[in-house]
A and B are shown apart, each in its own frame.
Chain A
Amino acid sequence: MSESTAELQSLLKRAEALYHDMHFGAVRAWKDAEPGRRAVGILPVWFPRELIHAAGMLPVSVMGGGDDVEIIKGDAYFQSYICHLPRSTMEMSLNGGLDMLDAMIFPSICDVIRNLSGMWQLLFPDRPAWYFDMPQSSDAIGRRFCGRELAELRDALGALAGSSIEDDVLRESVRLYNENRRLVEALYETRRERPWLCPTSELYVVLRAGNVLPVEEHNAMLRSYAELAGGAERHAIDNARVVVVGSFCEQPPLNLIRTIERAGCYIVDDDLLLGNRLVRGDVPDSDDPLDTIVGTFIDHAREASFLYRPADKGAELVQGLEACRAEGVLFCAPSFCDPALLDQPMLVEAVEEAGIPHTSFKYAENTGQFQVIREQAGTFADSIKLWGAA
């Protein structure tokens, strides 16, 4: 084994260990390294992590327990028809798995996450919890509203950290997260062009590490991965190029991603961990960094089912499919996910109009049976390869 291969494997081993660590050891270690350090949890999908970073705190993206958390208490809080992510989040919360988080932020995405914010307030009244209402009015009015909401949160985060968040510090945080976004985009670009070099099952755990690592460390990891994966001796195979749609909040288990790949698919784009990439491009440097963060979100957020988009539904998806030369779409949404499942028929219509094959299935974050999905994804990939259409 070459040195670079060993290095790549070591990096991936670490990333996968972080992915599976539902005790958030990395976050605890970061806090323990210096007295007074604080960490703030963020539920999916988007919150400007720059703000937390600028307060000297660690933003931690909490994306449920995957298939690594056995649900015992969590099921007692949710009916059978509610998705899985809040169950595992509740399970971890009640078992002390999230006790290293000094505060929580619940962005607006759906009614379940919204109500989870209130449950948190009832169960953990001593720990700050904030609901962040993303503006659905994507104009100057929405920008003003969101700016004022974030200004309040900036004050609250500053109070939690013990010092106010200054603009020059925030600008520096923005710079670091811009770099993070560029590195992530570059990896997506690599995968789009040469998916055999950068399989999604690897890329996913590397990106997921950013949920718990400081951005500086994650940037270093992304750079290393880009270099090591880009130089790896890997060869293209005749897989179908597919795009995964609908997995932006509750995440599929890693083995489901592997299953799709083993079934003969290159995932050349996806909306996994969408919060990392929701805003396209850099947040520009400015005198008023908070306003610029809001403006960038308003003007450059990708089409997402939790954001109001009444016209040209699916147009951006179709454009993206063409840009990455996708041969098919896997609509892959969590069971009971209102945003994804309500959006899906509209997106399907757009994809069908564009003549792009698609198939769909649902999962839960702890789905353990993959045979059916493998057969479905495999048949889909075969049909693309054999007949050029599903």
Chain B
Amino acid sequence: MSTASGNTVGMDSSMALQKQMLARHYDRLSRAEEEGRACAYTFVPGNLTELLLSFDILPVLPEINALQNAMRKKSRDYIATAEKLGHSEDVCTYVKCDLGMAKSGNVGPTGERLPDPSVLLLSYTGCFTFMKWFEILKQEYDCPIAMLHVPYQGAGAATRNMRDYVVEQLKENVIPQLEAVTGKRYDEDRLSEHLAASARAEDDFVAVLESAKHKPSPIDAYFGGVYYISPIFTAFRGTPEAESYYETLREEVQERIGGGLGPITPEGTLPEERYRLVVEGPPCWTNFRDLWKMFYDEGAVVVASTYTKVGGIYDNGFRHDPSRPLESLAEYCLGCYTNLNLPSRTDMIVKYVEDYDADGFLVNSVKSCNSFSAGQLLILRQVEERTGRPGGFFESDLVDPRYFSGANVKNRLESYFQMVEQKRSAVRSLS
């Protein structure tokens, strides 16, 4: 998922705020063991942050650690460590990066040691690998593991049976384990307060995402988007800090709209919006800035992305509901992007292309993530057929730098933008 690395990026105050939040979180984690605070290792999709907060448990997100390590150029060595231990070159590099880090002293991306987990909270949502990942970690740590199996929306809908299953697991498995780990009783009122805070932040977050419908778009919903999703996808959903962050961010975006400004980028504000794109797939974290620069150089703005929905889809109207806390958490988990079937994902992308008046659609297909990648080539065809707008495709990886070929990606992107231009010329000549 997102988060600013230590790199200098053109910054609004919301970015500075977010950086401070993350630094404080890692600092809290580094002191957790001496302060006797419980920590849960858990995943971004289908995360139960509000529930953890209601038990005063600090979330540790292995995916975030992996991507942060990649942005800081540390992932290569960690992956090599895991592969030396027998982990296949074929499998997810998030897993190997995380395991390599654990085997190297579990020093987090900011240089502070991460606490061992008090509990592994396996939210098995939208990704098979999650299940194996925590089975592997269970061998590393002597701690309980709580598993929440979130059924896949195979038929394109979350059914009553699925929701009941998730709620029953929360009530009968997950919550009792969190009670045992912390020695605290489940406090539904407290959970509801966090959920109410989540819903307020979600309103502001959606306003930010939808601001990209303006021309020029005041945000980049992929590269910039990963910064915007960071608090709500990670340890902060349901906190006053997150509420404050999204209020600030929304105000800033409004100002940019008022000033007719494009998105802020590492190179500064994008001077001219030449291409509006929808992007499917996670970013390549090892070369995040390089890739963003390629888009910037072409005047390409991502107006909507699917990656910014892996930790929850809010622009379809979903909000956490404090009056139905566990049901609402279940519905949230069921609705995360990679838990949707391919027809639903395709529909969503088509809608984005149309609603955001995009010139086209690009897939960044990452080797590590079959949950995202399997079927993307069909999605590409379907979206092209249904929207009549050109699709493009390039490959990279999440955190393994061996799979990023800058020249190839640049070549692909340049060809793609030429295709968009040709399409425009054809439309102009017809009209």
Contacts and interface: CB of A to CB of B under 8 A. Distances in A.
Interface of A: 76-79, 81-82, 86, 106, 108-112, 114-119, 121-123, 130-133, 135-137, 139, 141-142, 144-145, 148-149, 152, 305-306, 308-311, 313, 335-339, 341-346, 348-349, 362
A267 B155 CA distance: 40
Which 10 interchain pairs have the tightest Cβ spacing?
Answer: A131-B154, A118-B342, A342-B132, A145-B165, A115-B374, A136-B149, A341-B88, A115-B375, A111-B370, A111-B371
A43 B345 CA distance: 22
A116 B374 contact: yes
Contact of B138 (A119, A122, A310): A310
Given A139-B173, A336-B90, 11 more contacts: A108-B128, A137-B169, A145-B162, A145-B164, A308-B131, A310-B145, A310-B147, A313-B138, A335-B90, A344-B88, A346-B139
A131 B378 contact: no
B346 interface: yes
A139 B173 CA distance: 10
A336 B154 CA distance: 23
B90 A114 contact: no
Interface string B161-196: 110110011001100000000000000000000000
A341 B127 CA distance: 15
A121 B342 contact: yes
A233 to B, nearest CB: 43
A141 B91 contact: no
B191 to A, nearest CB: 20
5 contacts: A115-B371, A119-B375, A121-B343, A131-B341, A137-B165
Contacts of A346: 135-136, 139
A110 B375 contact: no
A131 B341 CA distance: 10
Contacts of B138: 310-311, 313
Given A79-B395, A310-B134, A344-B86, A111 B169 contact: no
A114 B172 contact: no
Contact of A82 (B139, B374, B378): B374
Nearest to B369: A111
B342 A136 contact: no
B373 A308 contact: no
Contacts of A337: 90
B154 A117 contact: yes
Interface residues of B, number: 52
B374 A112 contact: yes
Contacts of B367: 79, 81
Contact of A119 (B85, B165, B342, B371): B342
B374 A141 contact: no
A81 B400 CA distance: 14
Contacts of B343: 118, 121-122
Contacts of B147: 136-137, 308, 310
B128 A131 contact: no
Contacts of B370: 82, 110-112, 115, 338
A79 B136 CA distance: 27
Nearest to A152: B161
B348 to A, nearest CB: 12
Given A121-B342, A130-B155, A338 B92 contact: yes
Dominant SS among interface residues on chain B: helix
Nearest to A309: B135
B293 interface: no
B129 interface: yes
Contacts of A338: 91-92, 128-129, 132, 370
Contacts of B133: 342
A122 B161 contact: no
B141 to A, nearest CB: 11
Contact of B135 (A145, A149, A310): A310
B239 interface: no
Contacts of A86: 374
B128 A339 contact: yes
Contacts of B248: none
Given A133-B151, A145-B161, A145-B165, A79 B341 contact: no
Given A148-B161, A341-B88, A135 B129 contact: no
B92 A82 contact: no
B152 interface: yes
A145 B151 contact: yes
Contacts of B382: 122
Nearest to A146: B165
A133 B152 contact: yes
Nearest to B382: A122
Contacts of B42: none
Contact of A79 (B128, B346, B377): B377
Nearest to B134: A310
Given A77-B377, A122-B382, A114 B88 contact: no
A110 B147 CA distance: 17
A246 B242 CA distance: 45
B172 A313 contact: no
A311 B378 CA distance: 38
Given A79-B377, A118-B341, A345-B86, A308 B92 contact: no
B332 interface: no
A172 B152 CA distance: 32
Interface in B97-141: 124, 127-129, 131-136, 138-139
Nearest to B377: A77
Interface string B416-431: 0000000000000000
Contact of B154 (A110, A114, A135): A114
Contacts of A133: 151-152, 154
Contacts of A116: 374-375
Nearest to A90: B378
A110 B129 CA distance: 8
A136 B147 CA distance: 9
B377 A342 contact: no
A229 B161 CA distance: 48
B87 interface: yes
Nearest to B395: A79
B58 to A, nearest CB: 22
